[in-house]
Structure 1
Amino acid sequence: MIGLPDGRRLEAQWWGPGPEAAPSLVLLHQGLGSVSFWGEFPARLAAATGCGVLAYSRLGYGQSDPRPLPWQPGYLHDEAQIVLPRLLDAAGVRRCVLLGHSDGGSIAAIHAGTVEDARVRGAVLLAPHFIVEEITRAGVQVARARWEASGRMRERLAPHHRDPDLAFHGWNDAWLDPGFADGFDLRPELAALRVPLLIIQGEADIYGTPEQLRIAERAAPALVETLLLPGIGHAPQEEAPEAVLAAVRGFLAKVLPPGPG
């Protein structure tokens, strides 16, 4: 566990070398994710890159301290601008690349576009959201229907979260809030980016279309590399791990010179 200045605690785990020995990859999980939800990916990422890998569960997720409901429409910005910098401080991170999946990708983009943080040398975004598309909202509504129809979804989340009801409703209620959908637009944050991005999306993603990639290519002044994977859905790191690992290795060779952390 990693403690924040306000006394709250975040579940966290390291793989590979510590920040004093090598650069770090900081993993930001998806809307229903946690440390354990990453599965074998962090270990494979550390082995493939030689970097240390830090994953943490956001407040309300995994074994981290709770975050009271309801989560306000700006909760992703709060994570990116307030919690993440404190987490990096507490973990002793020196040089890093942020790697976010889905909501975590959005958090990484917000941080890179709004926080002056010399530690962050780039960001890898897996299936991120920059705007709320119709397909995005429809996917969230399908998740709500499945949650309400049976207990199977709760059973699948229970091994990964101290309070699966909090994790689900925090995410789902926020994304279905009309104020969130109407106000969520990360193009200004992308326009302010000063670090390179690698964005990987599956062509069969049920939460977003390739327009998400095009938005970043048009808006960001920094280098943006995009990779669209045919036949892959919303979790490229699970469905096409070798392609993701290869792309990440190539990206890191450009943005993280070798050397100690």
Structure 2
Amino acid sequence: MLNLHIHSPFPNRPTLVFLHDSLGCVELWRDFPERLAAASQCNYLVYDRLGYGKSGPFAHPVRDKHYLEHEAVVLNQLLVEHNIDQALLFGHSDGGSIALLTAALFPERIQAIITEGAHVFVEEVTLAGIRAAQAAYNTTDLPQRLAKYHGANTDAMVKAWTETWLAPMFRDWDITDFLPQITCPALIIQGEDDEFGTPKQVKTIVAHCSGPAQAWLIPGVQHNPHKEVPEEVIEKGVDFLQQCLS
């Protein structure tokens, strides 16, 4: 059972779909989806992936190397169920990787994608960031802060993220081969000071997409551009979406 919210105030306009990160959920987007959708005059859908927020628990608590591809299949099923055939994907971190995979695997439903801090391969800086988050979970009040949003899902969610990415079998995870299947326009965003990835992620994505892809590296920003510089992200996002929809 997924916790899902759809807002459709603009008849005959596309739908923005927001895909959260590894510790994210609907509530942690705050008002960003509503603001970007209103500014671009788009409808929007936001949901907690299974195992997150107010959605049900993981069906399979142990992840395999292809778990993000499975999430792309789930997203496509949601789009079909809700008759969304003009989707604009906005994905953050893991959600960005899911956006890329969905655009590659189900191009007929995806009009454009925006990603923030998306990963297409594993870097040492990513693993270092995850180890730091794991240590914070074990030594600070992070469990209590996350439980405000994820409730009974909290421990399993953190374990699934940290143990999967830090596992030896995940070191060679790489979805670069999917990127040439992306034909829709793409805006690939990353903070220059992102603690979970280097600009090589952005450069790889832009270089391998078949469709028009543009990079935006933001100086002085870390892994959460939509929280750190929301006005800039909304302005850039609206400009990009207007180009795609004109």
TM-score range, shorter chain: over 0.9
Q: How far apart are residue 135 of structure 1 and its match?
A: 0.3
Q: Which amino acid counterpart does residue 178 of structure 1 have in structure 2?
A: P
User: Equivalents in 2 of 1:92, 1:160: separation in Å?
Assistant: 29
Name 2:117's counterpart in structure 1: 127
User: Equivalents in 2 of 1:225, 1:250: separation in Å?
Assistant: 12
User: Equivalents in 1 of 2:75, 2:166: separation in Å?
Assistant: 24
TM alignment of 1:173-252, pairs within 5 A: 173-182=163-172, 184-252=173-241
Of 42, 46, 56 in structure 2, the residue corresponding to residue 51 of structure 1 is 42
Of 129, 141, 144 in structure 1, the residue corresponding to residue 134 of structure 2 is 144
User: Equivalents in 2 of 1:213, 1:61: separation in Å?
Assistant: 27
TM alignment of 1:23-172, pairs within 5 A: 23-67=14-58, 68-80=60-72, 82-115=73-106, 117-150=107-140, 152-162=141-151, 163-172=153-162
Unaligned residue ranges in structure 2 (runs of 5+)? none
Q: Which amino acid counterpart does residue 104 of structure 1 have in structure 2?
A: G
User: Equivalents in 1 of 2:169, 2:82: separation in Å?
Assistant: 34
Name 2:2's counterpart in structure 1: 10
Deviations 1:91-126 (A, max 9, x none): 2313111110000000010111122x4221110001
CA RMSD of aligned residues (A): 1.4
Q: Which amino acid counterpart does residue 107 of structure 1 have in structure 2?
A: I
3-state DSSP class of the match of 1:46?
helix
Unaligned residue ranges in structure 1 (runs of 5+)? 1-8
Deviations 1:136-162 (A, max 9, x none): 011011111111123x11111112113
Q: How far apart are residue 166 of structure 1 and its match?
A: 1.5
State, as a whole percentage, how many aligned pairs show the same letter: 39
CA contact (8 A) 2:40 2:242 kept: no
Instruction: Give the TM-score normalised by the residue count of structure 2.
Output: 0.95
After the TM superposition, which parts of structure 1 deviate over 3 Å for at least 4 consecutive aligned residues? none
User: Equivalents in 2 of 1:100, 1:86: separation in Å?
Assistant: 17
**How many correspondences in the alignment?**
244
3-state DSSP class of the match of 1:10?
coil
User: Equivalents in 2 of 1:180, 1:36: separation in Å?
Assistant: 29
Q: Which amino acid counterpart does residue 91 of structure 1 have in structure 2?
A: H
User: Equivalents in 2 of 1:235, 1:16: separation in Å?
Assistant: 26
Higher helix share: 2
